[in-house]
A and B are shown apart, each in its own frame.
Chain A
């Protein structure tokens, strides 16, 4: 009995018995990182809004748009169990809304040279740029890990092991329409 079990075990170990849960762990970690970096951006915003307010209080409309978009973005938090194509779309739409509001604010800021030379504002600007870059990196890594995981789930022979033991579903991937930041990019007017 035991001698029959061993080759069977060897067969499955070659066919995803280990790599499937590993790929799932990778996805979980990369999704946590995506949310973490978006949270980091949201944490920067109160400070940014306060600094801008000190110099450009008349830009109330743009500032409230940022605050509202931030509130919406922080509300849509998606734990990995609830992550599917629909919730991912919701999440990225809320975040794209905040990206749009922020880039509008950054255009408005150009009209205030005093604010732009403020040391605190400069630092915030660097932090914001850095965080946007971290978000891009985290999202690219999520895309990579999802690709790997979905390959494991759908491509034989690992998919057979999956349907026998784990029964994992495919995980949602970022789509082009998720990346709405481009559409929301502000027009520069002179």
Chain B
């Protein structure tokens, strides 16, 4: 029996690191984003997908277990197949926290909009934030930059003409949402400090319900890849 357990243990340690299944637009294995930041970002990315067909995935990995970032990220896109099969408008923003590496992987349908050089410049502009440990801002700069390059802004405004509920500028909307979530984080933290001895379960519940109040614009649409293809375009960097 002990031999068997040992065998299982060895099998587990020997296997290469797996890519997790696609659970949402933001997969955060280390929790560098707060709950509300993650929810807000997820909702924005869901809106972008339904409006423009651009499926941007944020993947913050704990480590790569000996893999290199280029191989790790193409393995992820091979598994997830972000973007629709006909348009191939998938984007992956992947970070490996232990190795301090970051990469932008560009789907085939967006290679004309986001060249390798542009992706490289974007990576260079966000790594200073990562160096300082300000990961949330760095990710935001990356996501905003990618959506800008992919011309989501103009698409969002043209859609906004038809649908009055849509915001005019996506970048501004993102900023607004993040500031709002920071304020709410602050107040939640304050409340936690003031009323510390309430049951953990209850606090957890109020947390989620509060977030849902203004984060529900994205709805609860499911998030899955559509068969989009990647051929290794993009750029990598480190911090």
Contact of A129 among B116, B121, B231 (CB under 8 A): B116
Write the B108-143 contact mask toward A (1 if CB under 8 angstroms, else 0). 000000011101110000000000000000000000
Contact of B116 among A33, A37, A127, A137 (CB under 8 A): A127
The answer to whether A137 and B120 have CB atoms under 8 Å apart is no
The answer to whether B115 and A127 have CB atoms under 8 Å apart is yes
Q: For residue B115, which residues in chain A have a CB less than 8 angstroms away from its CB?
A: 127, 130
Q: For residue A126, which residues in chain B have a CB less than 8 angstroms away from its CB?
A: 116-117, 119-121, 235
The answer to whether A127 and B232 have CB atoms under 8 Å apart is no
The winner among A125, A131, A133, A137 for most chain B CB atoms within 10 A is A133
Instruction: Say if the beta carbon of B25 comes within 8 Å of chain A.
Output: no
Chain A stretch 23-50: residues in CB contact (< 8 A) with chain B: 33, 37
Q: Which residue of B lies closest to A33 (CB)?
A: B231
The answer to whether A130 and B234 have CB atoms under 8 Å apart is yes
Report A140 CB to chain B, min CB distance, Å: 8
Instruction: Say if the beta carbon of A85 comes within 8 Å of chain B.
Output: no
Q: Which residue of B lies closest to A125 (CB)?
A: B120
Instruction: Say if the beta carbon of A138 comes within 8 Å of chain B.
Output: yes
Report A88 CB to chain B, min CB distance, Å: 21
The answer to whether A136 and B70 have CB atoms under 8 Å apart is yes
Report B48 CB to chain A, min CB distance, Å: 24
Q: Which residue of B lies closest to A134 (CB)?
A: B232
Instruction: Say if the beta carbon of B180 comes within 8 Å of chain A.
Output: no
Q: Which residue of A lies closest to B73 (CB)?
A: A133
The answer to whether A133 and B232 have CB atoms under 8 Å apart is yes
Q: How many residues of A contact B (CB 8 A)?
A: 17
Q: For residue A135, which residues in chain B have a CB less than 8 angstroms away from its CB?
A: 232
The answer to whether A136 and B232 have CB atoms under 8 Å apart is yes
A-B contact count (CB 8 A): 49
Q: For residue A129, which residues in chain B have a CB less than 8 angstroms away from its CB?
A: 116, 120, 235-236
Tell me the complex Cα distance, A33–B236, Å: 22
The answer to whether B121 and A130 have CB atoms under 8 Å apart is no
Report A94 CB to chain B, min CB distance, Å: 21
Q: For residue A123, which residues in chain B have a CB less than 8 angstroms away from its CB?
A: 117, 120-121
Tell me the complex Cα distance, A31–B232, Å: 16
Q: Which residue of B lies closest to A128 (CB)?
A: B116
Report A106 CB to chain B, min CB distance, Å: 15
Chain B interface residues toward A at CB < 8 A: 70, 74, 115-117, 119-121, 230-236
Return 30 A-B CB contacts under 8 Å, by A number.
Answer: A33-B231, A37-B231, A122-B117, A122-B121, A126-B117, A126-B119, A126-B120, A126-B235, A127-B115, A129-B116, A129-B235, A130-B115, A130-B116, A130-B117, A130-B119, A130-B120, A130-B232, A130-B233, A130-B235, A133-B70, A133-B233, A133-B234, A134-B231, A134-B232, A136-B70, A137-B74, A137-B230, A137-B231, A138-B231, A138-B232
Chain A interface residues toward B at CB < 8 A: 33, 37, 122-127, 129-131, 133-138
Known A-B contacts: A37-B231, A127-B115, A129-B235. Give 16 more (CB < 8 A).
Answer: A33-B231, A123-B117, A123-B121, A125-B120, A126-B116, A126-B117, A126-B120, A126-B121, A126-B235, A130-B116, A130-B234, A131-B116, A134-B232, A137-B230, A137-B231, A138-B231
Top 6 nearest A-B pairs (CB, nearest first) are A130-B116, A126-B120, A137-B232, A123-B117, A134-B232, A126-B117
